[in-house]
Amino acid sequence: MLATHHSSLSTRTRWILPALVFCSCLGCDQWTKRLATEHLKQTPPTPYLGDTLRIQYAENPGAFLGAGGGLPAQQRFWLLVVMNAVVLIAIPAVLVARRDLGRPQMVAVALLLAGGIGNLLDRVFHGGLVIDFLNMGIGPLRTGIFNVADMAIMAGFALLILQPRAKMEAANSGGSLP
């Protein structure tokens, strides 16, 4: 009985940080998009920090950096809504099945899932468009316009890419990582 309680407790605690990351990222994404829609939609771009950060409202019909935005609406729907939803449904199944994932990988997947769902919600409730409002750069060298969900996706990918390398370096140096 005690061993069962201990294993369920560790299973529960294993999910706390990823769940907090997921909820906070998704909540922040949806809240900032709502603010952007309410306050920035009819406003010209506003520069901050010497135009390093620019706040400007945009509705993106495509994926990353507008990729696929020129596709016909029905093709965009199948690619960016239906296929995206299928992938986002599969991610939690993988999390449950892969008990060997460490906390950093689970946080990375939570970030990917939160960002993906945040942008998918936009597409479903905004006629296939994603609300973007952030732009960074120096002079003419600028990023595309993005949102909090995009930052979560990029952070999740970075964690997934960097974590195996960090573990390998720790193993080679005699250290350990969680």
pLDDT tens per residue across span 66-120? 777 888 888 889 989 999 999 999 988 877 787 788 888 889 999 999 999 999 9
What percent of the chain clears pLDDT 70, i.e. is strictly above it? 85
Catalytically active residues, by annotation: 132, 150
pLDDT value of position 128: 92
pLDDT value of position 168: 47
pLDDT value of position 94: 78
Span 123-143, average pLDDT: 94
Half-sphere exposure of 58 (CA within 13 A, CB side): 19
pLDDT value of position 7: 47
Categorize the per-residue pLDDT at 6 as very low, low, confident or very high, splitting at 50, 70 and 90. very low
Cα 165 to its chain centre, rounded Å, is: 21
10-24, 102-116, 118-132: segment of lowest average pLDDT = 10-24
Comparing CA positions, the residue from 163, 146, 167 lying closest to residue 108 is 163
pLDDT value of position 164: 66
pTM of the model: 0.82
Categorize the per-residue pLDDT at 167 as very low, low, confident or very high, splitting at 50, 70 and 90. low
With 60 as the cut, is the pLDDT of residue 50 above it?
yes
pLDDT value of position 169: 54
Span 130-155, average pLDDT: 95
Q: Which residues contact 56 (CB under 8 A, 6 or more apart)?
A: 40, 44, 45, 46, 133, 135, 145
Span 113-132, average pLDDT: 95
Cβ atoms 146, 31 nearer than 8 A: no
With 90 as the cut, is the pLDDT of residue 157 above it?
yes
